[in-house]
Chains A and B, each alone.
Chain A
Amino acid sequence: MFKHNLAYELKEVLRVKEFILWLMLFPIILGTLFKVAFGSIYSSELFDTIPVAVVKTTENEVADRMMEALTEGESPMLIATYTDEESAKQLLLDGKAEGILTIGESMELTVSRTGMIPTVLQEIVSRCKLYETVIRDAIATDPASVETVIAKLSAEVNACRDVSPAADNPDVYVQYFYNLIAMVAICGNMTGLHVSTNNQANQSLLGARKNCSATPKGIYLTTGLIGSCIAQSVSMVLCVTFLRFVLRVNFGGSLLLLYLVSILSGCLGVAFGFFIGSIGKMKHEGKSAIAITVSLALCFLSGLMMGNIKGILAVKAPWVNRINPVAIISDSFYCLNMYSDYRRFFTKIIAIVIYIAVFTVLGVLFTRRKKYASI
């Protein structure tokens, strides 16, 4: 009977249109949209060697040394084309140069547009001017100290301390993908809610029919939950696989642990729905509305709709992030990606397992009733 029930439970769940739409197609569509949106941000910020046209009007040794430093090495900042003024202008107009550096007594910049690259060029020119002033001043006052001054100027001063992340992806936008996965997981409440409704005689005709049958309630409740968890796990694995291998979102960390946390998260969604469905006598539609509202609120607090809300909550009400199951799911992905040891990750995993256990036990306690006062 167990096998029979489980097989049909799976068949039924996987044929529900809402399930296919919300738990399989929706994350793929939303993930793709995220990738398109964030992909353009990445490409617009992508830094490459900047082509410039250089016009020398007089000899300037300091400027020459700076140009040397900027155009040589493993990853040079600039590609310089030394030319006359007319050709330089043509290169700029043709888009073959981002700016014209005119080196005379001092260094001047001509650009044809605004944007990130002209700003970078402007910053380079400003720095060069500053360095030139300092070096010229050193030559004038104490020529012996010039080498020391140049060495000091070359040394990078950084107020921040390097912390080695475990993984290779401190990408801020990947947080949206964590939240997307967490949302898919919590939306698993739809199937959990169905399990609860379809097995209680006071909630549905199917529940009444099953309660009249020769199969103990424990069997069809268990198969219902297992079937829903399997279906939800399939949708989670599909979602993560699509994001990781098709959209190439870099989640970092171990792939095996990534799938583990996805599956557990899906089970948490199912257990959450089962719990909501088991409370009170309200009809399925009402409970469904509650489950959707609560899920969306949890997703909002986790930062799906507004990226910085989680940070605000971390300062103003840190306990919200600690108890919000969606935030816990999202954090588990973050921990897997960001930390070299798995201590924090497993803390989140334990929290997810506790949530699954609590929701399931409470759900079973509320639905185990076999006789009803009214139907």
Chain B
Amino acid sequence: MKPTVVKIDNLVKRYGELVALDHFSLEIKEGEIFGLLGPNGSGKTTTINCLLSLLSYDKGEIEVFGREMTPTSYDIKREIGVIMQNVAVLDELSVWENIDYFCGLYIADKEKRKACVEEAIKFVGLEDFVNFRPKKLSGGLLRRLNIACGIAHKPKLIILDEPTVAVDPQSRNRILEGIQELNREGATVIYTSHYMEEVEQICTRIAIMDKGRKIAEGTKDELKGMIRNTESVSIEILELPDDIREKIAHLPHVYETDYDGAKLTVRCSGGRHNLIRILAVLQEAELGFGRVYSELPTLNDVFLEITGTALRDSME
């Protein structure tokens, strides 16, 4: 069994009357890419800040690499790389100098540091921009610099707090691929995001957060297995008599139907031939229909079924 890298136990953090973290617990094993998924204000960043000992908390315990995490745990901090939600670099230093400066907060040896900086620059693809000041870089390049500053010292635990916010798709893909590569090289990764597609794409295990609580945890398949919905069938149809809709609602495995005057959505739990059965009913009634979609459940469906609100809705 792989050793535990991060253990958060019963964490409570209050901002006055507001409970930001409500008895939050978590265990992350070595080699995982662990996703913290939740809408804005769900407590993801607060969890990270408590984990890094930046924030004080009211109750609970935090262990990293099997040792209690405190603000003066410099040996533990040496093994952690942090990539903040917003870019935090020095405007007056060049790309190379920035990476070297932050790497120097972890590695004293100049030669070793130089090798690390060069490797980090190559890793994020900033070879052509080493002498550029941050203000001369585009948003995507700036994000890459931010990542390079956080990983240059080769940490065993990398914490990325929404690193792809406001990043173009090309840079986003590069960042996600980079995270997977770092993980392949042996780093344990904690990845917070409100983009469920990203979390689904790269995370080996996911915890879904809402209002400071962990509402679900597991692999993406385990999470999807927690909910009733296994398939959503959507059919564009302009006319749907009530008796036909009733007939569809009583088909095997169908547990919910929804019709808005233009689109019929049928949610099924289990079963293999749901789509064929539904279309058969419509053909039998000689009803014309347009495009047909069959979708497997997403993490948004998991969030929707557990909280009653869609993940996207709760971010608005």
Contacts and interface: CB of A to CB of B under 8 A. Distances in A.
Interface of A: 1, 4-5, 8, 11-12, 15-16, 201, 204-206, 208-216, 220, 370-375
Contact of A15 (B52, B55, B92, B101): B92
B120 to A, nearest CB: 15
B51 to A, nearest CB: 10
Given A1-B108, A8-B93, A12-B93, A213 B102 contact: yes
Nearest to A1: B108
B104 A208 contact: no
A15 B133 CA distance: 11
B93 A371 contact: no
B92 A371 contact: no
A8 B55 contact: no
B163 to A, nearest CB: 13
B272 to A, nearest CB: 50
B87 interface: yes
7 contacts: A4-B108, A16-B92, A212-B54, A214-B75, A216-B72, A372-B56, A375-B54
B84 A205 contact: yes
B82 A212 contact: yes
Nearest to B48: A212
A213 B106 CA distance: 7
B240 interface: no
B293 interface: no
B97 A371 contact: no
Interface residues on B, range: 20 to 34
A371 B84 CA distance: 17
A208 B74 contact: no
B80 A212 contact: yes
B52 A212 contact: yes
A211 B54 contact: yes
Contact of B106 (A211, A214, A216): A214
Contact of A373 (B56, B72, B84, B101): B56
Most A-side CB within 10 Å, residue of B56, B75, B77, B105: B105
A374 B15 CA distance: 8
A217 B75 CA distance: 14
A371 B56 contact: yes
B23 interface: no
Contacts of A4: 101, 104, 108
Interface in B43-88: 49, 52-56, 71-72, 74-75, 77-78, 80, 82, 84, 86-88
* Most chain B CB inside 10 Å of its own CB: which residue of A16, A206, A216, A371: A371
B90 interface: yes
A200 to B, nearest CB: 11
Given A205-B84, A374-B15, A375-B49, A210 B105 contact: yes
Contacts of B101: 4, 8
A371 B54 contact: yes
Given A208-B54, A208-B88, A211-B54, 20 more contacts: A4-B104, A5-B105, A11-B92, A11-B93, A205-B86, A206-B88, A208-B84, A209-B84, A211-B71, A212-B54, A213-B102, A214-B74, A215-B74, A370-B53, A370-B71, A371-B53, A371-B55, A371-B71, A372-B56, A373-B56
B82 A209 contact: yes
A213 B105 contact: yes
A206 B98 CA distance: 11
Given A8-B93, A8-B104, A206-B88, A212 B56 contact: no
Contacts of A11: 92-93, 97
A285 to B, nearest CB: 16
Contacts of A8: 90, 93, 97, 101, 104
A211 B56 CA distance: 13
A371 B86 CA distance: 20
A208 B108 CA distance: 20
**Which 4 pairs of residues, A with B, have the shortest CB-CB distance?**
A205-B88, A370-B71, A213-B105, A15-B92
Contacts of B72: 216, 370
Nearest to B74: A214
A45 to B, nearest CB: 47
B217 to A, nearest CB: 25
Contacts of B49: 208, 375
Interface string B148-165: 010000000000000000
A1 B54 contact: no
Contacts of B80: 212
Interface string B82-120: 101011111011000100011011101000000000000
A15 B101 CA distance: 15
B55 A375 contact: yes
A366 to B, nearest CB: 16
B92 A214 contact: no
A206 B102 CA distance: 10
Interface in B4-36: 15
